[in-house]
Amino acid sequence: MLYELTETQQKDLQYFAPIEGSLLTEKLKSFVLKRKDINLADWIVGMRLVMQSNAKGEDKIKKIDDANTVNNDIAIHDILPVPSDDARQKRLLKNQVSAIINILFTVLGTATAVWKCASSYSNEKRVALSGISAFVVLVADVFLYVRYLQSSPQKPPKPVQRKVVYTWSTADLPLEEKKVQ
């Protein structure tokens, strides 16, 4: 299956002819890695899909009107491998559930540890100490979890390019002795 790109898409991908689907996928992956600010679903709009469906070999052209559909209600996700939100939502839900389970284990572990450590006190004091400590840990964990959810994802740091300015070895003569000779 071939895709015809708009002029801006051709400039962005540096490919100026109709492009095969697998090559388009590779180019899009590298393009998205270079330009992380781009919204791929909006960028795809205007691309034309060229399908050879006739026995005569005549091309049918369908223009992509919006990010989700092609003219004959073909889903864009059937054509191009656009990452779906389902996997992202699933991963987000998994992270949230594991964080909540971690908070529960932390609170229960703290309450149990304080209960065991306060064995010399009466039961009323042990209950109060373990309850207060569990509540303090719960408040701290919830505060950290909320801060984590509100923080924006950080970009990885740019790799630092280092170059050697001057090297020496123990077999080299010191600079002062080189001048004397």
Tell me, what's the pLDDT at 70? 40
The residues pairing with 71 across neighbouring beta strands, listed in sequence order, are none
User: How far apart are alpha carbons 145 and 98 in whole angstroms?
Assistant: 11
Amino acid at 70: V
Structure tokens, 15 = 């490919």
Tell me, what's the pLDDT at 173? 62
User: How far apart are alpha carbons 20 and 99 in whole angstroms?
Assistant: 43
Cβ atoms of 127 and 135 within 8 Å: the answer is: no
Tell me, what's the pLDDT at 37? 77
The pTM (predicted TM-score) of the whole model is 0.41
Give, for all 181 residues of the chain, the pLDDT tens digit. Answer: 677 778 888 888 887 778 777 788 788 778 878 877 777 777 777 777 665 554 454 545 555 554 444 433 344 444 454 445 677 788 888 988 999 999 999 999 999 999 999 999 999 999 999 999 999 999 999 999 988 888 877 777 788 888 877 766 666 666 555 555 5
User: How far apart are alpha carbons 109 and 139 in whole angstroms?
Assistant: 15
Amino acid at 87: A
